[in-house]
A and B are shown apart, each in its own frame.
Chain A
Amino acid sequence: MFSQGHELDRFFSPFGTTAHPLSELFEELFGEAVESRSQVTPRFSLQETPTSFSLTASLPGMSEKDLHIDLHQSILTVSGERNTTPPEGYSVLRRERPTLRFTRSVALPARVDPEKVSATLKNGVLTIQLEKAQEAQRRAIAVKAG
């Protein structure tokens, strides 16, 4: 049987090492720092278009009831908790998945329309879409010949 995780460890060095430099976005969202038995803040990524913001976070195994999202003026706050306590009756051979316990606030650089905010949690990824307030949306200005 597994002996103190040594058999697993032997296979971790030749396999599962990155063969390429990771693309920035991928690294940002999915390259979490893993520390066993410590609390980790998940990676958040904020993107902007001329008309909206979208905030994404990697939260595998998180359920909606453990997640709280709050928007106050231009400050978006996401907090939540995901435990990794082993279920009853199991002995632990290896623990790498971190407990997630976090509160992250983001000051959005433009006003948003609070009526046009949506949040979805799919496959453990949280995506919050916020539409900018009308006056904050970037629009091209037509140049007329004088």
Chain B
Amino acid sequence: MQPTTQLQNSSKAPLSTSQKLPFVTPPVDVLENDDHILILADLPGVSESDITVQFEQDTLSLEARLTGSGSEPMAGYQRKFHLPRGIDAERISAEVSAGLLQLKVPKSADQKRRSIQVRAG
């Protein structure tokens, strides 16, 4: 696999307010385990400098810009996710490699599954 690139939570302005571009909804897989929710999005043609991930009021939004062969943006990907309560927004991470974006949304400590011991009464 190609090397991955870390993505910071960005504070860039969302694409949709700065430019009117045609956009497409990328297909996603949403998985979860005890520790986090994992969102995988197919964003072919996009590298990490083209992607904006923002989290605000329970909504995770994803925008990415496609530039094609020139430097002019041609179009974009866009999708929003309503995240459940009990996630740790400070630790959301994003990584992109070969046009595949992986968003990891950790669950907050009180949401993680824990076993509760049953004592004989």
Residues of A with Cβ closer than 8 Å to B? 1-2, 5, 7-8, 10-12, 15-23, 25-26, 29-32, 34, 58-63, 84, 86-87, 89-98, 121, 123-125
Question: Which residues does chain A contribute within 8 Å of B66, judged by CB atoms?
Answer: 26, 30
How many B residues touch A, CB cutoff 8 Å? 40
Name which residue of chain B comes closest to A100, CB basis: B42
Contact yes or no, A60 B42, CB < 8 A? yes
State the majority secondary structure of interface residues on A.
loop
Name which residue of chain B comes closest to A17, CB basis: B25
Q: Is the CB of B109 closer than 8 A to any CB of chain A? A: no
What total count of A-B pairs have CB within 8 Å? 133
Name which residue of chain A comes closest to B62, CB basis: A16
CB distance from B120 to the nearest CB of A (A): 32
A11 and B24 CA atoms in complex are apart in Å by 15
Contact yes or no, A97 B22, CB < 8 A? no
A59 and B100 CA atoms in complex are apart in Å by 9
A23 and B99 CA atoms in complex are apart in Å by 21
| 8 pairs, CB–CB < 8 Å, chain A vs chain B | A2-B30, A8-B82, A16-B80, A18-B23, A30-B45, A124-B43, A124-B46, A125-B45
Cβ-neighbour of A90 out of B33, B84, B98 (below 8 A)? B33
Residues of B with Cβ closer than 8 Å to A? 1-2, 20-25, 27-33, 37-38, 40, 42-47, 59, 66, 68, 74-75, 77-82, 84, 86, 98-100
Question: Which residues does chain B contribute within 8 Å of A23, judged by CB atoms?
Answer: 22, 74-75
Contact yes or no, A123 B99, CB < 8 A? yes
Which of B32, B46, B84 has the largest count of A CB atoms less than 10 A from its CB? B32
Question: Which residues does chain B contribute within 8 Å of A8, judged by CB atoms?
Answer: 30, 81-82
Name which residue of chain A comes closest to B85, CB basis: A1
